[in-house]
Amino acid sequence: MPDTVHSLSTLGLGPKRQIQFWSDALTDLCGQFAVDPLEASTLEARINYTTVSKLKLCQIEASQHRIAHVSSASYTSEHPYFKILFQTHGISYFEQNGCQIQIKPGDCLAYDVSSPHTIISPSLTRHEVVIVPKELLRERGFNFGKMSACKLSARTGTGRIAHDFVHAAFGEAAKLSVNSAASVAETLLDLLLLPLREADTTFDRAGPEAMYVRAQAFIREHLRDPDLCIDQIAASLGCTKRYLHMLFSERGMTVSDYIWRARLQHCRQELEAYGGKTITDVAFSWGFSSSSHFSRVFRKCFGVSPSAIHKGQHGGGTLADVSDEA
């Protein structure tokens, strides 16, 4: 089931209760924080949050305050998160490992939540945040042994695209099916990593994790090509077919498995969206060359026939749809 948007606010609470409430809210999301309203008598804050597959998406607004996280063994094991923060209003000052960073509207800050840090906001701030499990980033080549906080621009280029996608994903999260949410989360992660890769920070391009990520990216770019094969992928990446097989087999699949599963996922999304195409049109547009083969592997993968999904989206089928199930 798709997740709904949850809202928390300190409105109407007493000053002491506001501080505890806000600390509890942040702790539930991504770790234990101490909260200080600075010289203000109250802390006016609210947070709207939802999930898209394994990602947590948040929209946060708070009056002047300071938050501080001090590392602990229990926290590190329970909250293995990485945070990508887009500042949309006000100015904040971030400090971690002796590094001080000023964050203004249009800035993006990426950092390891488990490492001790503080954020001071002298006045009202708003930001949009993506909380990412570290395991998803390790799969994409991140080396947290070298990780340090990184400020990037979300005003133009890939940073702007990533922020726009985050904003749109938050607004549509409650409408996504489970399968669509998983695909949106994958795309969102790819977009969030683009500005980090361009900045050449924390990303190991030479190791096996990075090679696996590059292979995934090449496959996604050429997924509609019916001639896509391991020879083409290996030649593009400058590695041997044996090495490529090893990268995927270590993750419990073959290169071919990955390609066909990705194609099936895209086919299902198009059938669910129903853009007026027949099942055959959808299948052939994603690299399948046989409608009967497509129907068999689709049913094996999802436990339901493509015609059942297709007809369910527009209340009936066509002769072309029925023939695809033959």
Domain spans of the chain, in order of start:
6-204, 210-324
pLDDT score of 263 more than 80: yes
pLDDT, average across residues 42-59: 96
Task: Name the least confident of 83-87, 165-169, 231-235.
Answer: 231-235
Nearest to 219 by CA among 254, 193, 194: 254
Specify which of 19-33, 46-60, 72-86, 296-310 reaches the highest per-range mean pLDDT: 46-60
pLDDT at 77 over 60: no
Tell me what pLDDT residue 84 has: 95
What proportion of the chain, given as a percentage, has pLDDT over 90? 52
Q: Do domains 6-204 and 210-324 have the same CATH topology?
A: no
CA distance 90 to 314: 47
Confidence tier at 115 by pLDDT (50, 70, 90): confident
6-204 belongs to which homologous superfamily?
Jelly Rolls (2.60.120.10)
Compute the average pLDDT of residues 36-53. 95
Q: In what order do the strands lie in the sheet with 107-112?
A: 6-9, 45-52, 55-62, 125-133, 81-89, 107-112, 150-153
User: Model confidence at 271, in pLDDT bands (50, 70, 90)?
Assistant: confident
Percent of the chain with pLDDT over 70: 84
Report d(CA 252, CA 243) in Å as an integer.
15
pTM as predicted: 0.63
Q: What is the pLDDT of residue 242?
A: 85
In the prediction, which pLDDT does 97 show? 81
CATH superfamily entry for domain 210-324? Homeodomain-like (1.10.10.60)
260, 179, 249, 185: which is closest to 212 by C-alpha?
249
The residue behind tokens 């940073």 is: 159
CB 260 within 8 A of CB 229: no
Residue 150 has what pLDDT?
A: 86
- Of 239 and 241, the structure prediction assigns the larger pLDDT to 241
Does the CA dihedral 310-316-320-325 come out positive or negative?
Answer: positive
Average pLDDT over residues 103-113: 94
pLDDT tens per residue across span 172-210: 999 999 889 999 998 998 888 888 776 655 444 445 767
